[in-house]
Structure 1
Amino acid sequence: MTHMYERDLPQNAANHAPLSPLSFLQRSAEVHPNRLAIVHGALRQTWGDTYRRCRQLASALQRHGIGKNDTVAVMLPNTPPMVEAHFGVPMAGAVLNAINTRLDPETVAFMLDHGEAKAVIVDVEFMPVMKKALALRKATTPLLVIDAEDAVHGPGDALGNQSYEAFLAQGDAAFEWALPGDEWDAIALNYTSGTTGNPKGVVYSHRGATLNALSNVMEWDMPKHAVYLWTLPMFHCNGWCFPWTLAARAGVNVCLRRVEAKAIFDAMRDHGVTHYCGAPIVHGLLVNAPTDLKAGVPAGIKAMVAGAAPPASMIEGMEHLGFDLTHVYGLTEVYGPATVCVKHPEWDTLDVGERARLNARQGVRYHLERDVQVLDPETLAPVPWDGETMGEIMFRGNIAMKGYLKNPEATQAAFKGGWFHSGDLAVQYPDGYIKIKDRSKDIIISGGENISSIEVEDVLYRHPDVLAAAVVAKPDARWGETPCAFIELKANATATAEDIVAHCKKHLAGFKVPRAVVFGELPKTSTGKIQKFELRKAAGSAAAIDV
């Protein structure tokens, strides 16, 4: 017999609706239609206007036959069309694939094919790369190409079928969009480097996007109408879900095409910026900027850093600016940040070195993540909370991906035992805070972007003079890490470091090209496996070269 709490209490449309960040946009447009939503150059766009334009985008997409579970790719900087794509594309029932604007044509072509994109919106600046990528596609199905022009950038050659504004004009501003039938429906597709040459497609759900967007609000105590500066690329984990977070708070998206110290400080002064996010390189850029650029910058700006632990010099520099720095940690597979190093008032009395040690930890789980622990990767038993015993960081709960697109083996391995396996090795302290000690994956994080060492090694092996090659991370004051190539040449080969770099530039995006090249016999095990741990030691003393 069923219990009384299980009888005659059905789930229905009156008491249950799928979670989706699209609801945030609708509410802000209804409650705050005249509040500022987007700033870009001379453009000032309200939440009411933004809602209408997103509905037009969704309507236009559907009129072109794009709907449920179709992929719409975008290659855009942090501009208004990128904000609008985060709502207009899923309003059509489609899935947004925001492509890294720094990638080479070959990788872009792979993503368009693998994600089976039906349309792509491309900014004028990236048309040359996209033009090459379209020529390299293996798929023969037609692709709708939409050109996104930008007055801030200036004109460019047309590539697509029509301009973004002309495309929007075909849509209905009163389009009757609908929430997803299931909150588990896909909302976004993001590609991550992983440890193999081809990137893996990480699929996000409406539910996960909603809950991480709300977690962002809670981790920062983010107020209504916060003014957020887009220094973090929106292509990176959908801007850590902040396009949806800003809609939940009816905040202001201050767009920024390029991350430059003067442009950032000017925007902070001109628009009263209250929040921004970025990799360590962004914060370092501000700390080390000329003094005159910092004059008159508002005090109390909240900054979020991820990608590497903030050193003492950064914490001290941010304090001198009057900024409040929060350290978070995560991966593409967990919607960006999923842990936060929550600061405690008693830390304020400690010297900067001790504060840096405490703030360098990856911290504790986000509010709406179910659990994050350091576990033994074999037994899945928790490691002792002693700050010494290493295990693997694992996540479970509300803000883990649906899985890897068209890759069931990788998905099954990632979720083995009911936990998402991050691949990062860490310890857990008595207070529960997690601290990364090493990476089990050979991923280099440069300026907040992942670089697969295997991808770079594959390119190096294509050079006719290379006998053996290995790539590891080299510490870098500006970028955090950069690729360092160790190369064993064939007998009588004469290739120079400059030759190797020139070869890499032909096949890799600029940020993936090695910044240091070291020649010599590579250390190997008795079975011939290259000993990368020895190379990591050597990389610290390898001199960088100009690339």
Structure 2
Amino acid sequence: MQELHFAVPMAGAILCTFNTRHDSTMIATLLTHSETKILFVDHQFLHTALAALNLLKPPHTKPPLIVTITYEGTPPQSELNTNAYHQYESLIEGGVSGFNVVRPTDEWDPISLNYTSGTTSRPKGVVYSHRGAYLNSIATVFMHGMGARTTYLWTVPMFHCNGWCVTWGLAAIGGTNICIRRCDPKDIFDNIDLHKVTHMGGAPTVLNMIVNSPVTERKPLPHKVEIMTGGAPPPPLILSKMEELGFGVSHLYGLTETYGPGTLCLWKPEWDSLPTEERLKLKTRQGVRHLGLDSVDVKDPITMESVECDGKAMGEVMFRGNTVMSGYLKDTKATEEAFAGGWFRSGDLAVKHPDGYIEVKDRSKDIIISGGENISTVEVETVIYSHPAVLEVAVVARPDNHWGQTPCAFVKLKDGFSVDGQEIIDYCRNRMPRYMAPKTVIFEDLPRTSTGKVQKFLLREKAKALGSIS
């Protein structure tokens, strides 16, 4: 994948990385929508790819040429249900050493296509330009404090926003890639120890996995390992435990539509002397724009006026600049809606503090309105996360005939712990306004998308089916 991030654009083609967790039906949908001509497949996912090809509908969709990346245990060629079959290494060996790079005719030409976590019926293909990818690659390297001796451990998938553009940025500084086949705490600690890893990245779910790993799977870090986290506001408790293990955590924020990272909670030296709880709370802010982005702001989605910098007035996070997508492939309507008013609308609700740092409170569709009060599910989840028995939590709205909506918490407990719903409710009531505390607690595994995000729409459906609590 790392090689293809360079080879595909250099051949004048567009890179489109598919999520390895997708099933054959989704892969078939994306192959059709993207009009893929060549499909590179690791042998581990060959069965899924072949099943996807069987779902394509000729002559409307021409099956792509397949190139397999083979290792020991790869099925023989006879098992491939395709006439166009090549092996990756053979393809490379047959290359022309004097090949002239096919450079873009314009810096706004597309370099890659990335699909968001959507439904099979309406995938959103986000188009990246050469200019945007270049700028975000450099910005990410600066944000993460990388240098020529950087050794980067890949736990952020390269199919996700082109690895937050680190795929290109790491090569620009001459860094070293360490790749693992699965995101497993033991593999993470083993590789950090073996390769003296200096930097890595990971969503809060990865951080949660690391801090809750068995002590027997851990190894002392050879030095402080800098880790970037983003995707959802990380709970302060998780940040604290990561620091105790020897990681230096920096928090960034962005979307697929912003090439991954768009802002960083740029750390201020004076914050080091603050009490731990206050310091960790500051670190969960989404912060300020990076050097490659023109503008980020929190605006009223109707009037497009900027909200007050008081840490209270809420609006929608909006972006503008070269590191914002060119648009959604074959979806003019969705593109126009996303850029209504001249800014890219993130769909995230946030406040802006007096120092200009933004803090995301919730997704606009996730906010709970109870008795006329807005409740941030992120704030409720943060409190529940701090309970020693809780491994994962997601909070959604449950309908209520009297209050309109009330918080409903879906909780997964750590192994060996046993608590009831009332204990979680009481724990919250002792730590936040009573109206914000959940009135319902359900213990179960959380459903996730192929990119690891909690599927809150499924949880909302479950909560809705429960009916009113009062």
TM normalised by structure 1 equals 0.67
Aligned to 1:199: 123
Q: State yes or no: 1:295 paired with 2:216.
A: no
The answer to whether the 8 A contact 2:193-2:219 is kept is: no
Aligned to 2:30: 111
Matched to 2:43, the amino acid is V
User: CA 1:194–1:366 in structure 2 vs 1: closer, same or farther (change >3 Å)?
Assistant: farther
SS in structure 2 at match of 1:83 = coil
Q: Equivalents in 2 of 1:345, 1:305: separation in Å?
A: 20
User: CA 1:515–1:425 in structure 2 vs 1: closer, same or farther (change >3 Å)?
Assistant: closer
Aligned to 2:64: 143
How far does the alpha carbon of each residue in 1:462-514 deviate from its partner, in whole angstroms, 9 at most, with x for none? Answer: xxxxxxxxxx9946579xxxxxxxxxxxxxxxxxx9xxx9xx99xx9696886
SS in structure 2 at match of 1:190 = strand
Residue 389 of structure 1, aligned match among 313, 322, 329 = 313
Q: CA deviation at 1:87?
A: 0.5
Q: CA deviation at 1:281?
A: 1.6
Aligned to 2:11: 92
Moved more, 337-346 or 169-178: 169-178
The answer to whether the 8 A contact 2:24-2:49 is kept is: yes
The answer to whether the 8 A contact 1:394-1:422 is kept is: yes
Q: Equivalents in 2 of 1:169, 1:296: separation in Å?
A: 41
The answer to whether the 8 A contact 1:195-1:442 is kept is: no
TM normalised by structure 2 equals 0.77
The answer to whether the 8 A contact 1:385-1:430 is kept is: yes
Q: Equivalents in 1 of 2:207, 2:281: separation in Å?
A: 18
The answer to whether the 8 A contact 2:165-2:259 is kept is: yes
Aligned to 1:217: 141
Aligned to 1:322: 246
SS in structure 1 at match of 2:207 = helix
Aligned to 1:265: 189
Q: CA deviation at 1:187?
A: 0.4
The answer to whether the 8 A contact 1:124-1:157 is kept is: no
SS in structure 1 at match of 2:200 = strand
Q: CA deviation at 1:366?
A: 1.1
Structure with larger RCO (C-alpha < 8 A, sep 6+) = 1
User: CA 1:186–1:254 in structure 2 vs 1: closer, same or farther (change >3 Å)?
Assistant: same
How far does the alpha carbon of each residue in 1:385-418 deviate from its partner, in whole angstroms, 9 at most, with x for none? Answer: 1111111000001210010001111111111121
The answer to whether the 8 A contact 1:328-1:362 is kept is: yes
Matched to 2:5, the amino acid is H
SS in structure 2 at match of 1:117 = coil
Aligned length: 394
Q: State yes or no: 1:124 paired with 2:124.
A: no
Q: CA deviation at 1:368?
A: 1.0
The answer to whether the 8 A contact 1:118-1:144 is kept is: yes
Q: Where does the alignment leave 5 or more consecutive residues of structure 1 unmatched?
A: 1-81, 446-452, 454-471, 479-496, 524-533, 539-547
SS in structure 2 at match of 1:176 = coil
Q: Where does the alignment leave 5 or more consecutive residues of structure 2 unmatched?
A: 368-376, 379-395, 397-407, 415-441
Q: CA deviation at 1:198?
A: 1.9
Q: Equivalents in 2 of 1:196, 1:439: separation in Å?
A: 22
User: CA 1:316–1:519 in structure 2 vs 1: closer, same or farther (change >3 Å)?
Assistant: closer
User: CA 1:290–1:196 in structure 2 vs 1: closer, same or farther (change >3 Å)?
Assistant: closer
User: CA 1:131–1:396 in structure 2 vs 1: closer, same or farther (change >3 Å)?
Assistant: same
SS in structure 2 at match of 1:180 = coil
RMSD (Å) for aligned C-alpha atoms: 3.1
Q: CA deviation at 1:157?
A: 5.1
